[in-house]
Each structure stands twice: as structure tokens, then as C-alpha cells.
């Protein structure tokens, strides 16, 4: 049984390991039989860097087979710290020695908390025996443990297949099925697991029979989907045709996937005419209209053009029209005559004033242009396209006056499409272009204040313009929270610490992982087991694993490290953030296919592009990425390794860090790093291997409205701090002379930095100059004039830019 | 094109186009996961042909059968702005009816939901689907601020508890006429 001691806990938490060891030695004398203090001793030794002694202590303790859960948790942590993987998990060793239901349940709980599916499988299997054998009051019923075990076998097969090996891949479904059969499934949730296991062992006919019997009694959605998928996979098209027809017609389930399977099976068994009859007699709706188009894929008797036209006539005034048709429209321009007719009959009269402008017409206009662009992507290169977007936007602008609160107008898409074309058609990509687009989008968002795509574009652009406070205000206005922190916040915090010295935002992001995720997710997984909501378990585990190994989480950690280092706060790095770096690397080096063997990138890089033709436009993206490029896993890896090389010199993996870092550095020109970052990496590469040359000192940006302006100063300042740390904490793996490099870099920084007054003066001058140029462009340039932005709107935008610019310069003054 | 599919925890990563809407609430993770684990079949999504979520229904069951209060409660139903005004909200609500009729395991007497009294658009929407106001919950959206008095109504902070009877409520005992005039306090709404 553990005896917590707050003094020891605080000594460990604040990094005073010598004191912790002293206190522990007293405790061990006082409680010589308490395994927990021995485990803590091993932990303190490991944290202090006495790896060999720590490992010895931990192994000695493990050999004594402690059974206290906290001791076991601590021991698992110690092995993790030491990068040591015992042949069997600590809970596994203990549980097998003392298979009491309580201890095995602790093992199960530990597996849930760490989202370790393979340990979960082992622990639930043992739990079936432990609970079965025990006569005392059970934590969980014997039947439930069998269902837990069956689900865990299934999870292992679904999520960890590449780690199982061929024998277990065959064995696990069989054992899982046996468990499920012993439990005798009753509910839809239980049948869901049972059927998937039947499928995995190859008993697909049996599975179909079970599904048929169950679905005859209860129309469960999850089981229905398995049933239909299995009928298709088994090529039972006659049956599939009958069953889908039953769902569509008899049960009235107007479901698109069912329609698609109905048409496909009908086509494959030569009953396409019957399909058409069913569609004809079905009640009107989008699915019905699209079902004709689906039929057209298989039958030449059905004209795709006729039904495309019919669909646009019916639903062209709905925003979903484009997305519904996207899969049916290709570049063969089949849609052109339809769009021409729509333009002549319904859009042009509005533009000429002979027909009334309504919200429906606006949506029709937007769909018209989106479909046109989809079938002719080259339009983005045409100046006429920008003119057309602007003309249509201007014509529909009066509607913005009547926008209801919280509603947003579809017209924003015309603006975004015009801006995307502008990016492609501009001769140069940089400050002036970004500022122009910001002005256009700010004018649009002022009239359409709840439109979030406009805001996402603005956030991206403000970061490129070195105006981080503007980007942050916008993101905060969108109330991004909880899971959105993982998916959307990287838009703001990528390279955030190279633009500002503020910490709050990065800490908030970090809290989401350490507080929300840690406290909420495991608890809910237990809930899921307890309620036997077995069909949801895979989603829960995947959700948990994706957050634990989240790209955004580790990226935020890098940002926090830079922020701490620039502010001379290495304590947080050593005590807290270093662990995250190590965790990243442990997952990264697995480089596996399974979800728990890789870094999971949950960033939402698509919502920004969910307008226009709803695709990431690679040409536009490439041009935008010339400044503050979107980062990827290689970036995350090289930057993490750089930090591990600085802070984790005692790791047994240190040699691996070096070789992996140098390997990545060899292809640094292909990585999405800025010139300053590449220069910083070259310093580390050079001191590890003096034959690697240091890159030229990064150039300072001329304008304060340039991302590189703050970024370069921050990165160089950070590099000075990195070298200082390495000089103070030398390790024998670093072969190059740090002092010489340090002097060079510090000299360079002196040439780069100015005082706060100069920065602020420069910013004022820059903003005034750019404002003038921007006003001229909107007033006199042939393209600029099209956007119809007036001088007052430009002045308003620049007033805010001026303030944000001063704040950005303030950050430079503080470092 | 619309399909109905079960919601899974990992779908939470893909909700931005729906949840960035200013009127859609983003809840704590545990809230979504609790619904998934407690009422797995009452949390489902509509999807596009590309299999991306276009809307979702978050519902639960509560109440005592003996008191004929056993019912499904719509906690949230929301639609991607690109898929609004095409009847998708109605479709999600009607789907809930099919899941909670005599169908095992729910078999509820009625479905209910709370809506702000000033949200006329939503009230009309639910009325068209057959819901009616059962009672006004005074101060429901007041966030516990200020003293709530039964006689002091305020459309900005009061909620209408709207209900629709299901087949199990054979005699229509779970709904009433003139419900707008019936007032209760938030503390009185418990099951």
C-alpha cells in the first residue's frame, strides 16, 4: 500500500532530486516493506540521470513482484524514463503472479488510462479468469468480463494488426468469438462485436444469418450497415437489391448509401429498369434526384445531362447543390450548356435589374460559379475570373444589409475565390499581396461577421504579416475550445513563439491535453465498458490515442520550449516539457502503420478550403507557403530532435538522436522550415559534426509587416540561448567547439537587434507607407479597382494593423 | 445526398464546419463521450457522399416509466451551414422518432427538447414536426444569475419545454394544450 509524502512529492515535482532521495532514504528506513518508496527512489535516480543505478533499483524491485498499483505505475514510469522496455509489462508480471480480481482490474484500468490496446487485451483475458475464480463481491460480472475480452480481441485485430503477427491474427478473432459466444450476446451492441468477430474468423454466412435474425426484430443502424456491407462484399447482389429496396421503400429510410447500393446491385443483376421504377415512384427529395444520376453511371438510357439540369433547377438555390453534384461533375464540361442556360435565364436578369435579387438567387450565383470553376480549374489563372467574382459579389452586396444576426451570407465564397485567383495571378507573393487580401477579406467580414472561413483565411494571413495579436483576436472571436484546440489552434500557434513572447495561449493549449484529455477521456472509456456500449470502444480508444500522440500537442510543446528558452525559463523545459519531447520520439521512432505506432495529425487543414471548389488548391497553397510554411511531420521531428539533443543528453537513445537529426538535416532543403530555422539547425548539425558547414546568417526582413521580421530575431535569440545551455551543460557527444559558434551567433544577433524605440518607429513608418500603396492599388490598379473597397475601409483596417504592429514590436523589445 | 450513420468519438475531430457556427455549442469532451457511452444509438450523424459529417443528433433517454415520463430528450441537433434549409434537421428529428418508438431498447412515451422562448424560428420548426409547448421553464437559460420568479417571464432567458407524443402515449397524456401558460421553475424539471 502506498504512503504518499507531500514533501517527497514536492521535491520530485520541483526537480530537487537530491532532497527527494534524502527524504526517501529516511522513509525506506521507516517503512522497509513499502515497495512504493523503492519505486520512487528509482524514479528520483532516473530523473537525476543516474540511469544505471535507477535501472538496477527498478529491476530489483520488479523481481520482488510488488502488487501495489501505485508502485507498479511508478515502476512503469521509471522504465519509460530509462527508455527500457521490460519483456513483460509491470502490471502483467504482478497480475500473473497474483491474479486477484482487484489487481487484474488495476491492470485493466492502467491499460485504459494509457490507451494500450495490447495490454488491454491481455488484462481483460486474465480478468475473465480472475473474476470467474473469485467468490467475493465482484468489481464486474463474469459475463461482462467475457464481453470485455471479446471486444479487446476485436480491438487488437482492428487497431494493432501489424503488431500481432500472423499466428495471433488468426488466433485472436477465434478467442474473441469464443468469449462472445460464452457471454451469449443479447443487445445490439453485443451483437455488433459478435458479428465483427464472426466476420474476422471467416464465418461470413453465419454472420449474415445472425444479422438477418437480429434485424428482423430490431432495426439497429450499426448492424444494418454491417449487413449491407457484408452483402456487397460477398457479392450477394440479388439479396442486396431486395434488402436495400426494403429499407428504402418498406421502411421509408431515404438514405443515400442505401440508394447507392440499391442502384449498384440493380445494375449488376440487370434490374436497372426496376431501379428507375422505384426512383420514379419515390417521394421527392435530393436523394431521389441524385439516384437518377447514380443510375446514369450504369445505364446509357438515362441522360446524365437531363438529371444534372433537373437537379440544378430544383436545388441550385441551396448551398448543398455544389457539394451534392461534385462527385458527378468532371472536367468534360458536360455541365457548361446547363450553366449557360442558368446564367441567361435566372442570373443575368437579376444583374440587369429586370428580376429581383433574393437570397436564393445569391446562392444560385455562388453555385453557378463554383460549378464553373470545378469543370474549368484553369479559370483561376484568368483575370476575367476575378472580374466576374467581383462583379457578382458587388451585385449581391445589397443583401448583406439585411443579414439576420448570427446568419451568414453565401456571397463570401465569391470573395474567397477571387482572392485565391489573385494569389495565383500576382507576380510576387509577399507583404503587399497579403495586405491587399486582408483588406478585401476584412471588408467582407465586416458585412458578414459570423462567416468563419473568412476569419480562418484572415488568421493565416495575419500570421504571415507578423501581426499575431490580430490573428489571436480573430481565433478567440470564434470561441475555439476543447477538441477544436487540437484541430484548429495550430493555425495560430505554429511558430507563434517566434512572433511574440506571450505564454498564455500556449499554456492554455497545453492544459487541454494535460487537464481535459487526461481527466475526461479514460473515465469515459470506463463508462463505455461499464455500459457495454461495445460498438463505441474502437472510436473511444482511437480518439484517446490520437490525442495522446497528437501532432498539435507536440508542436505546441516545441513552441512552449522556445518561449521558455527565450525567457530564460529552462526549469519548465527540464521538468515538464522534456518528457513530451521524449514521448514524441518514442512514438515517432516506431514509424508503424497502427494508430498507436505513429504520430497522429488531427489538424484541420481542410475547413479553410471548404469554399470555392472545396479542395486544397495546391498551387495557391504552395504560393502562400512561401511565407510561414505549413509544417509537417519531418519538421516536427527535426525540431524535436534538436531539442532532445540539447536537453536529453543522458538518454540511452542519444546516439540515435544524433544520427536521426543529421539524417533529417541532410534533406533540410525539402523540409518546410524557414531560412532562420534551417540556419539554427545547421548550428546544431555543425557542433555535432564539424564537417557540416553552418549556413549563412539569416537575413533580416526589411519590413516589420513581414513574418520573417520577428521570426528571425526570435530564432537567432533562441539559438543564442540554446548554445548557452549547451555550454553550461556540456556532453561528450558534442564534438564541435561551442564557444566559437556562440561568439559568432551572439555577434550576429547584435547586428540584428535594435532598441524598442527604433522598432516602433520603423513599424509606424512601414504601416504608413504600405497604407498609401494599398490605397493607390485599390484606387488605380485595374485589378484593385474591381474589389470596390473604399478608402475609409482601408483606413479602418490599417488603424488596427498599426496597433497590432506596435504590439508585435513590443515583443521584440522584451527579448 | 444524405446518409445517416452512427456517431463515433473520432468524428469529434471532423466537426469544425458544423461547430464553428456561432449558435452551435462546443461541449466538453466528456459530454459527447457520455452520450456515446450511455445512449450509443441516440447519437448519430448525417453525412455527405464524401462521408463527411453534415449534421448530428445528440439525444438521451430519462424519466420513470411508472409516471409515464420515460422519454427521449434532444440535447442538440445541428447542421452544417452548407446543408441548411433542405429539411435535414427534420430528417434527423424524424430518425430519432423511429429509434425511440416501440423499437427496443428505448420505447419512449414522448420526445422533448428545450428551446429559448425568443427563438421563433426553432419553435416554428418544431411545431411543423408535431411538437407543442408543454410548459415554460422560467429562467432556464439564466445561468443561475439572479432570483427566478415564476411570475416574471422573460423570453430571452426562459425556455419552452416542447414535446411530441410517441405511439406509446396512447391517450396523449404526455402533451397538453395551452402549455405556454403553464410555468415551472428550473428546479422543478427533474426526472
Number of domains in chain A: 2
Tell me the pTM.
0.96
pLDDT exceeds cutoff 60 at A782: yes
Domains of chain B: 1-108 (3.40.630.30), 115-191 (no CATH)
Contacts for A217-220: CB closer than 8 Å, 24+ residues apart: A217/B104, A218/A188, A218/B103, A218/B104, A219/A251, A219/B98, A219/B103, A220/A188, A220/A191, A220/A192, A220/B41
Q: What cell numbers appear for A23 in the block?
A: 527524504
Taking CA atoms, A115 is separated from A77, A111, A204, A396, A523, in Å, by: 15, 6, 30, 52, 12
Q: pLDDT digits over A656-674, tens only?
A: 999 999 999 999 999 999 9
Residue A427 has pLDDT above 80, yes or no: yes
Residues of B with Cβ-Cβ distance to A481 under 8 angstroms: 26
Classify each residue of B123-133 as buried b or exposed e, where b means 16 or more C-beta atoms within 10 Å of its C-beta: bebbeeeebbb
The three-class DSSP label of residue A128 is helix
**A478 lies in some domain:** no
Residue A132 pLDDT > 80: no
Predicted confidence band of residue A117 (pLDDT cuts 50, 70, 90): very high
**CATH classification at residue A15:** 1.25.40.10
Note the pLDDT tens digit of each residue in A308-355: 999 999 999 999 999 999 999 976 658 999 999 999 999 999 999 999
Nearest to B36 among A218, A482, A533 (CB): A533
Contact state of A536 with B81 under an 8 Å Cβ cutoff? no
Give the rounded distance of the alpha carbon of A482 from its chain centre.
Answer: 13
Is residue A2 predicted with pLDDT exceeding 60?
no
The per-residue pLDDT for B135 is 97
Residue A331 has a pLDDT of: 67
pLDDT for position A158: 98
Using CA atoms of A776, A782, A784, A785 in order, give the dihedral in degrees to the nearest 10: 90
- Percent of chain A exceeding pLDDT 70 equals 98
Smallest CA-to-CA distance from A312 within A287, A338, A279, A336 is with: A338
H runs (alpha helix) in chain B: 16-19, 29-38, 88-100, 120-128
Closest Cβ opposite residue B38 in set A225, A481, A531: A531
With CB atoms and an 8 Å threshold, state whether B33 touches A517. Answer: no
Q: Which one of B8, B23, B31, B40 would you mutate to disrupt binding with A, by most A Cβ within 10 Å of its Cβ?
A: B40
Q: What is the mean pLDDT of residues A425-435?
A: 96
Residues of A in contact with B54 (CB under 8 A): 320
Cβ-nearest to A604 among B16, B48, B98: B16
Q: How far is CA A157 from CA A151, A160, A176, A321, A658, in A?
A: 10, 6, 10, 40, 35
A395 lies in a domain? Answer: no
Residue A127 has pLDDT above 60, yes or no: yes
CB-based contacts of A810: which residues, under 8 Å, 6+ apart? Answer: A756, A760
Domain-located, residue A23: yes
Main-chain phi, psi angles of B47, to 5 degrees: -130, 160
d(CA B56, CA B111): 17
Distance from CA of B44 to the nearest CA of A (A): 9
Strand partners, A334: none
pLDDT for res A736: 66
Q: How far apart are CA A378 and CA A689, in angstroms?
A: 48
Confidence of residue A419 (pLDDT cuts 50, 70, 90): very high
User: Chain A residues with CB inside 8 Å of B4's CB?
Assistant: 221, 253, 255
- The pLDDT tens digits of the residues spanning B31-40 come to 999 999 999 9
CB A118 within 8 A of CB A163: yes
What whole-number distance in Å separates Cα of residue A780 and Cα of residue A789?
A: 12
Classify residue B73 by its DSSP letter. E
Q: Indicate if the pLDDT at residue A135 is higher than 80.
A: no
A765-to-A116, A499, A792 alpha-carbon distances in Å:
57, 20, 20
Query: Per-residue pLDDT for A373 more than 80?
Result: yes
Q: What are phi and psi of A704, to 5 degrees?
A: -70, -15
User: Are B84 and A516 inside 8 Å of each other by CB?
Assistant: no
* Of A257, A488, A524, Cβ closest to residue B3: A257
H, E, C per residue of A243-278 = HHHHHHHHCCCCCHHHHHHHHHHHHHCCCHHHHHHH
pLDDT, tens digit, for every residue of A593-615? 999 999 999 999 999 999 999 99
Is residue A526 assigned to a domain?
no
How many CA within 13 A on the CB side of residue A753?
A: 20
Decide which of A80, A98, A116 is a domain's last residue.
Answer: A98
Grid coordinates standing for B32?
A: 459527447
Q: Check whether A101 has a pLDDT greater than 80.
A: yes
> Residue B16 and residue A540: Cβ atoms within 8 Å?
no
Q: How confident is the model at residue A755, as a pLDDT?
A: 86
Q: Which residue from B minimizes the CA distance to A311?
A: B1
Non-local (6+) Cβ contacts of A391 within 8 A are: A351, A786
Contact A224, A195 (CB under 8 A): no
Structural domain contains residue A54: yes
Nearest CA in chain A to B12: A483
From CA A489, how far away is CA A374, in angstroms rounded?
A: 30
Q: Does the structure show a pLDDT above 90 at A163? A: yes
Chain A residues with CB under 8 Å of B49 CB are: 256, 323-324, 326-327
For residues A684 and A643, give the distance between their C-alpha atoms in angstroms, rounded to a whole number: 10
Helix H or strand E encompassing B159: strand B159-165
Model confidence at B64: pLDDT above 90: yes
The pLDDT score that the predictor gives to residue B103 is: 67
Burial class (CB in 10 A: 0-12, 13-18, 19+), A327: middle
Q: How far is CA B86 from CA A319, A323, A453, B1, in A?
A: 9, 13, 22, 11
Give me A206's grid cell: 453465419
- Choosing from A57, A73, A98, the residue where a domain stops is A98
Of the pLDDT bands very low, low, confident and very high (cuts 50, 70, 90), residue A134 is low
Q: Please state, in angstroms and rounded to a whole number, the distance separating the CA atoms of residues A759 and A169.
A: 64
Give residue-wise pLDDT tens across range A672-689: 999 999 999 999 999 999
d(CA A186, CA B104): 12
Rounded Cα distance, A598 and A578, in Å: 19
Domain assignment present for A67:
yes
**Domain housing A3:** 1-98
Summarised one tens digit per residue, pLDDT across range A219-249 is: 999 999 999 999 999 999 999 999 999 999 9
Q: Is B156 exposed, middle or buried (0-12, 13-18, 19+ CB in 10 A)?
A: exposed
pLDDT for A333 equals 58
Contact B41 A221 (CB under 8 A): yes
The pLDDT of residue A342: 96
The C-alpha angle B100, B105, B110, rounded to 5 degrees, equals 30
Q: Answer yes or no: do A607 and B48 touch at CB < 8 A.
A: no
First to last CA, chain A: 49
Q: Based on C-alpha coordinates, what's the Rg of chain B?
A: 17
The sign of the torsion formed by the CA atoms of A352, A354, A358, A363 equals negative
Boundary of a domain, candidates A734, A753, A772: A753
Average pLDDT over residues B17-46: 95
From A51-60, A403-412, A448-457, the region with the lowest mean pLDDT:
A403-412
**pLDDT > 90 in chain A, percent:** 91
Q: Are A2 and A71 in contact (CB under 8 A)?
A: yes
B85 contacts in chain A (CB < 8 Å): 318-319
How far is the C-alpha of B102 from the C-alpha of B100, rounded, in Å?
6
Q: Which is nearest to A708 in space by CA: A642, A627, A771?
A: A627
Q: Is A473 exposed, middle or buried (0-12, 13-18, 19+ CB in 10 A)?
A: middle
For the stretch A516-559, pLDDT in tens is 999 999 999 999 999 999 999 999 999 999 999 999 999 999 99
Q: Is residue A617 in some structural domain? A: yes
Amino acid at each position: 500500500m502506498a504512503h504518499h509524502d507531500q514533501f517527497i512529492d514536492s521535491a520530485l515535482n520541483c526537480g530537487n532530486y537530491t532532497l527527494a532521495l534524502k527524504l526517501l532514504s529516511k522513509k525506506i528506513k521507516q517503512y522497509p516493506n513499502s515497495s512504493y518508496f523503492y519505486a520512487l527512489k528509482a524514479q528520483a535516480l532516473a530523473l537525476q540521470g543516474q540511469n544505471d543505478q535507477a535501472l538496477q533499483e527498478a529491476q530489483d524491485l520488479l523481481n520482488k513482484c510488488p502488487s501495489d498499483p501505485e508502485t507498479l505505475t511508478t515502476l512503469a514510469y521509471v522504465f519509460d524514463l530509462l527508455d527500457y522496455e521490460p519483456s513483460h509489462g509491470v502490471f502483467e508480471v504482478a497480475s500473473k503472479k497474483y491474479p486477484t480480481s482487484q489487481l487484474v482490474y488495476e491492470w485493466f484500468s492502467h491499460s485504459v488510462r494509457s490507451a494500450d490496446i495490447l495490454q488491454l487485451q491481455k488484462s481483460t483475458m486474465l480478468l475473465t479468469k480472475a473474476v470467474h475464480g473469485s467468490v467475493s463481491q465482484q468489481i464486474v460480472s463474469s459475463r461482462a468480463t467475457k464481453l470485455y475480452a471479446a471486444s479487446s480481441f476485436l480491438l487488437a485485430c482492428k487497431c494493432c494488426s501489424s503488431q500481432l503477427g500472423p499466428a495471433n491474427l488468426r488466433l485472436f478473432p477465434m478467442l474473441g468469438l469464443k468469449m462472445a459466444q460464452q457471454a451469449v450476446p443479447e443487445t445490439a451492441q453485443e451483437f455488433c462485436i459478435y458479428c465483427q468477430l464472426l466476420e474476422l474468423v471467416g464465418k461470413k454466412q453465419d454472420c449474415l444469418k445472425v444479422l438477418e435474425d437480429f434485424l428482423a426484430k430490431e432495426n439497429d443502424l450499426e448492424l444494418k450497415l454491417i449487413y449491407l456491407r457484408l452483402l456487397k462484399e460477398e457479392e450477394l447482389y440479388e439479396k442486396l437489391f431486395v434488402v436495400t429496396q426494403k429499407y428504402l421503400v418498406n421502411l421509408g429510410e431515404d438514405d443515400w448509401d442505401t440508394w447507392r447500393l440499391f442502384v449498384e446491385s440493380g445494375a449488376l443483376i440487370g434490374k436497372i429498369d426496376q431501379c428507375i421504377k422505384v426512383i420514379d415512384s419515390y417521394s421527392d427529395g435530393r436523394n431521389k434526384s441524385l439516384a437518377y444520376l447514380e443510375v446514369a453511371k450504369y445505364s446509357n438510357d438515362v441522360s446524365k445531362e437531363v438529371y444534372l439540369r433537373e437537379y440544378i433547377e430544383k436545388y441550385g438555390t441551396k448551398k448543398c447543390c455544389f457539394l451534392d453534384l461534385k462527385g458527378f461533375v468532371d472536367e468534360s464540361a458536360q455541365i457548361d450548356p446547363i450553366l449557360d442556360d442558368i446564367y441567361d435565364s435566372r442570373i443575368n436578369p437579376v444583374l440587369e435589374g429586370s428580376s429581383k435579387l433574393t437570397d436564393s438567387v445569391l446562392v444560385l450565383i455562388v453555385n453557378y460559379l463554383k460549378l464553373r470553376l470545378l469543370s474549368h480549374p484553369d479559370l483561376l489563372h484568368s483575370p476575367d475570373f476575378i472580374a466576374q467574382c467581383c462583379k457578382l459579389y458587388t451585385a449581391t452586396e445589397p443583401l448583406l444589409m439585411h443579414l439576420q444576426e448570427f446568419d451568414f451570407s453565401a456571397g463570401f465564397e465569391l470573395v474567397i475565390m477571387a482572392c485565391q485567383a489573385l494569389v495565383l495571378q500576382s507576380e510576387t507573393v509577399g507583404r503587399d499581396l497579403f495586405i491587399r487580401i486582408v483588406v478585401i477579406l476584412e471588408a467582407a467580414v465586416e458585412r458578414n461577421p459570423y462567416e468563419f472561413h473568412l476569419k480562418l483565411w484572415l488568421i493565416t494571413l495575419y500570421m504571415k504579416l507578423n501581426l499575431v495579436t490580430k490573428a489571436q483576436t480573430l481565433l478567440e472571436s470564434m470561441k475555439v475550445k476543447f477538441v477544436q484546440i487540437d484541430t484548429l489552434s495550430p493555425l495560430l500557434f505554429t511558430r507563434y513563439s517566434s512572433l511574440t513572447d506571450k505564454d498564455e495561449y500556449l499554456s492554455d493549449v497545453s492544459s487541454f491535453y494535460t487537464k481535459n484529455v487526461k481527466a475526461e477521456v479514460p473515465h469515459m472509456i470506463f463508462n463505455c465498458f461499464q455500459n457495454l456500449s461495445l460498438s463505441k470502444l474502437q472510436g473511444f480508444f482511437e480518439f484517446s490515442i490520437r490525442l495522446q500522440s497528437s501532432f498539435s500537442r507536440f508542436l505546441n510543446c516545441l513552441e512552449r520550449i522556445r518561449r521558455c528558452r527565450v525567457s530564460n525559463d529552462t526549469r519548465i523545459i527540464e521538468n515538464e516539457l522534456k518528457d513530451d519531447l521524449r514521448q514524441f520520439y518514442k512514438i515517432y521512432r516506431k514509424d508503424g502503420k497502427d494508430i498507436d505506432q505513429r504520430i497522429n495529425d488531427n489538424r484541420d487543414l481542410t475547413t479553410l478550403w471548404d469554399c470555392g471548389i472545396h479542395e486544397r488548391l495546391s498551387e495557391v497553397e504552395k504560393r502562400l507557403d512561401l511565407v510561414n510554411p505549413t509544417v509537417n511531420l519531418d519538421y516536427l521531428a527535426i525540431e524535436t530532435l534538436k531539442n532532445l539533443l540539447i536537453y536529453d543528453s543522458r538518454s540511452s537513445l542519444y546516439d540515435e538522436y544524433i544520427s536521426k537529426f543529421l539524417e533529417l538535416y541532410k534533406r533540410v532543403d525539402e523540409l518546410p522550415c524557414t531560412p532562420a530555422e534551417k540556419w539554427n539547425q545547421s548550428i546544431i548539425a555543425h557542433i555535432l559534426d564539424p564537417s557540416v558547414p553552418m549556413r549563412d546568417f539569416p537575413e533580416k526582413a526589411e519590413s516589420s509587416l513581414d513574418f520573417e521580421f520577428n521570426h528571425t530575431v526570435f530564432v537567432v535569440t533562441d539559438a543564442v540561448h540554446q548554445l548557452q545551455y549547451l555550454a553550461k551543460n556540456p556532453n561528450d557527444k558534442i564534438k564541435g567547439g561551442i564557444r566559437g559558434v556562440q561568439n559568432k551567433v551572439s555577434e550576429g544577433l547584435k547586428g540584428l537587434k535594435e532598441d524598442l524605440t527604433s522598432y516602433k518607429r520603423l513599424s509606424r513608418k512601414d504601416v504608413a507607407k504600405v497604407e498609401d500603396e494599398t490605397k493607390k492599388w485599390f484606387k488605380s490598379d485595374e485589378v484593385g479597382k474591381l474589389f470596390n473597397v473604399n478608402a475609409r475601409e482601408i483606413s479602418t483596417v490599417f488603424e488596427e494593423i498599426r496597433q497590432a504592429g506596435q504590439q508585435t514590436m513590443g515583443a521584440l523589445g522584451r527579448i | 445526398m444524405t446518409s445517416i450513420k452512427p456517431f463515433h468519438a473520432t468524428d469529434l475531430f471532423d466537426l469544425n464546419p458544423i461547430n464553428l457556427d456561432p449558435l452551435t455549442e462546443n461541449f466538453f469532451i466528456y459530454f459527447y463521450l457520455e452520450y456515446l457511452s450511455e445512449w450509443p444509438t441516440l447519437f448519430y450523424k448525417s453525412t455527405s457522399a464524401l462521408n463527411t459529417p453534415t449534421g448530428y443528433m445528440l439525444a438521451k433517454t430519462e424519466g420513470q416509466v411508472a409516471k409515464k415520463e420515460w422519454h427521449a430528450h434532444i440535447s442538440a441537433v445541428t447542421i452544417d451551414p452548407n446543408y441548411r434549409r433542405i429539411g435535414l434537421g427534420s430528417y434527423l428529428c424524424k430518425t430519432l422518432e423511429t429509434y425511440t418508438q416501440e423499437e427496443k431498447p428505448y420505447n419512449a412515451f414522448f420526445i422533448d427538447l428545450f428551446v429559448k422562448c425568443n427563438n421563433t424560428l426553432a419553435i416554428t420548426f418544431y411545431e411543423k414536426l408535431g411538437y407543442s409547448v408543454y410548459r415554460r421553464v422560467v429562467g432556464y437559460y439564466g445561468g443561475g444569475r439572479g432570483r427566478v420568479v415564476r411570475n416574471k417571464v422573460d423570453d430571452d432567458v426562459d425556455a419552452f419545454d416542447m414535446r411530441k407524443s410517441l405511439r406509446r402515449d396512447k391517450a396523449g397524456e404526455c402533451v397538453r394544450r395551452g402549455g405556454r401558460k403553464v410555468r415551472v421553475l428550473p428546479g422543478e424539471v427533474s426526472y
